[in-house]
Structure 1
Amino acid sequence: MFNTFRTTVLLAALTALFMAVGYVIGGTAGMMIAFGVALATNVIGYWNSDKLVLRMQNAVPVAQSQAPELYDMVHILSQRAGIPTPAVYLIQTDQPNAFATGRNPENAAVAVSSGLLQQLQTHEVAAVIAHELGHIRNRDTLTMTITATFAGAISMLAQFGLFFGGGNRRDNPLGGFGAILMVFLAPVAAMLVQMAISRTREYEADKAGAEISGDPMALASALQKIAGAAHQKVNVAAEQNPAMAHMYIINPLSGQRMDNLFSTHPDTANRIEALTNLAASMRVDDKGRKAEPRPSPRNITPASGGGWRVPQTGQTGDSGGQRGPWG
């Protein structure tokens, strides 16, 4: 119920921001047009934003026959999380990363990069997937996906208005200067909204993922590796659509490593510290006795046995034919 209320408030705030951009660009008429566009964006965002995000990130569906071991992993972890098994998508990029999307657990998807499968160990990949399943279980994915769609639309609207000379109507007190100002302020405002919902949810998903996988330190290790690689290897699709950056487990954009107001993600060191503390607490029960360790994903073995290869999806990339983390 609280997540539904939070999503409703977020949509109202983004709609208001959208209308404000329309007013500055085109006065009252512009505001009414923006309101209509916002309503359409709400509807499209609810039903199709996940598909739009997956397409914009060049994520392609992977059939179970292409990667049965990966499906085994996702299925086992989904059972632990108590949610339906989501669809699995692959992003062909050397940068290790992942995100989840979907309007609810029954209509969700997890997208992992080929770099993640190549560069992380089995238990680390499992921990990352568990983190994304935590987002799905917490119903964060709808909010995060709609926010990404709105943020991109707000930026496009501001640039569109400037290109066509908006802001010259009489009922717009700021005139052309307002349109120019909005081109810079609207994306910043959208980014602030993204940060407000993203940073706390990453901590919550880290905790949920650690509990689902039973291995907090595997997630801590994965975060460290992903953060290190994210600033060395370019994720082209993410760079082209920066409004989607907050959806990834680690910010896929370069040059944002500080835990400050303008970061879409918490500082990785802070997240690792929280996971280290969680790992310590998970070793004892509420009476201070040593708890039985939960089966770790590192012990999961693929049903078909042996290693597996990063699935060939017809996309251009250098990952085809290399062993994934089961090998």
Structure 2
Amino acid sequence: MFRIGLFLATNLAIILLASITLRLLGVGGILADNGVDLDLQGLLAFCAVFGFAGALVSLLISKPMAKFSTRAQVIERPADSEQRWLLETVADLAKAANIGMPQVAIFPAQQANAYATGWNRNNALVAVSQGLLQRFDREQVRAVLAHEIGHVANGDMVTLALVQGVINTFVMFLARLAGFFVDRVLLKNERGLGIGYWVTTIIAEIVLGILASTIVMWFSRQREYRADQAGAQLSSPAAMISALQALQREVNAHVPNQMPDTMTAFGISPGWKKDVRKWFTTHPPLEQRIARLQQL
């Protein structure tokens, strides 16, 4: 309930802050001078409700969607010693991180990967790939699990959803504001919402959405550094570094990435893109993550 309250409080704070900023900038007066009677506060509230609602719904259904998209099988009763060790290790790490025991799952992928998701830090989901279990030793697997537990303990899923909600709000608001300006001020349309409004709004949402996604991706990269540090604290710096080096070998060997695009932000190693695409990636380069841990 605290995290839902955080969503609502953030929503109201964004509306209040943006309303004050719009008044200080005199946006309403500029539009009024051009014959545009627009309730900026009402429009902002509308965008905030829908922007945060989308992020909240995505967060609330993140666990079942993750299981479905990765075909993850939750371990209800351990079928062998490996599954028993997985459950015991996650339980030990969760206790050390002071969170509830997450569900533990294995998903069929040859790439060494893992993810954590869920809106409640005391009822999350931690999943590892079959490739990770096959090619990593137990100390490395434990470090990867500690990294994912770090995400849960840090509340990264909720915080990322909050950031996405803020981004959604301002993209919707600014796109519609641009649409009104073009339609009413430039094209002088006085009969409802004309084609200028709709075309401008759609184009502005696409452009602003692309630009704003770099902010979300930047935050995602920062949370990976924090999860690495948490993993090092819960396991050991040497084990976490060893696990990241093993992941780096996987990337260099071009092991196919079978993680769905919708789950990329939640995996531990989605790969690193060069050139302009690096601004749109969820994870920093593995060599930088290793270097940071080596400085601890």
Contact 1:100 1:132 in 2 (8 A): yes
Whether 1:56 aligns to 2:75 is no
> Which of the numbers 217, 226, 243 marks the counterpart of 1:204?
226
Within 2, Cα distance between the matches of 1:10 and 1:196?
21
Pick the aligned partner of 1:219 from 240, 244, 247.
240
Identify the match of residue 127 of structure 2 among 100, 105, 111.
Answer: 111
User: Which residue pairs with 1:127 in the alignment?
Assistant: 143
Say if 1:63 and 1:145 are closer, same or farther in 2 by CA, change over 3 A. Answer: farther
AA matched with 2:282: T
- SS class of match (2:295): helix
Structure 1 runs not aligned, ≥5 long: 14-27, 158-166, 279-327
Identity %: 30
- Higher-Rg member (1/2): 2
Tell me the distance in 1 between the aligned counterparts of 2:214 and 2:137. 34
Runs of 5+ consecutive residues of structure 2 not aligned to the other structure: 15-38, 173-181, 184-191
Superposition deviation, residue 110 in structure 1: 0.6
1:44 CA displacement: 2.2
Contact 2:99 2:153 in 1 (8 A): yes
Q: Which residue of 2 aligns with 1:267?
A: 285
Aligned pair count? 248
Report deviation, 1:130: 0.6
2:256 corresponds to: 234
| TM-score, structure 2 normalization | 0.67
Q: CA deviation at 1:117?
A: 0.8
Cα pair distance change 1:62/1:193, threshold 3 Å: farther
What is the distance in 1 between the residues matched to 2:150 and 2:109?
24
Amino acid at match of 1:183: I
Using a 3 Å threshold, how does the CA distance of structure 1 residues 88 and 145 change in structure 2: closer, same or farther? farther
Within-5 A mapping of 1:180-199 = 180=203, 182-189=205-212, 191-199=213-221
Q: 1:88 aligns with which of 104, 127, 140?
A: 104
Displacement after TM superposition at 1:35 (Å): 5.9
Counterpart amino acid of residue 241 in structure 2: A
Match of residue 249, structure 1, among 253, 268, 273 = 268
Q: Tell me, yes or no, if the aligned pair for 1:49 and 1:145 is still in contact at 8 Å.
A: no
- Cα distance between partner residues in 1 of 2:8 and 2:156: 9
Aligned partner of 1:170: which letter?
L
After superposition, the Cα gap between the structure-2 partners of 1:257 and 1:130, relative to the gap in structure 1 and judged at 3 Å, is farther
Does the aligned pair in 2 maintain the 1:259–1:265 contact within 8 Å?
A: no
Equivalents in 2 of 1:257, 1:7: separation in Å?
A: 38
Query: What RMSD, in angstroms, separates the aligned Cα atoms of the two structures?
Result: 4.1
Q: CA deviation at 1:80?
A: 2.2
Distance 2:284 2:132 in 1: 20
CA contact (8 A) 1:58 1:237 kept: no
State the Cα distance separating 1:120 from its structure 2 match: 0.9
TM-score w.r.t. length of structure 1: 0.61
Preserved CA contact (<8 Å) 1:53 1:145 = no
The structure, 1 or 2, with the larger RCO (C-alpha pairs under 8 Å, 6+ apart) is 1
Shift of 1:212: 0.8
Quick one: distance in 1 between partners of 2:63 and 2:164? Answer: 10
For residues 13 and 271 of structure 2, what CA distance do their matches in structure 1 show?
28
Higher helix share: 2
Secondary structure at the counterpart of residue 111 of structure 1? strand
CA offset digits 1:272-318 (Å, max 9, x no partner): 1121122xxxxxxxxxxxxxxxxxxxxxxxxxxxxxxxxxxxxxxxx
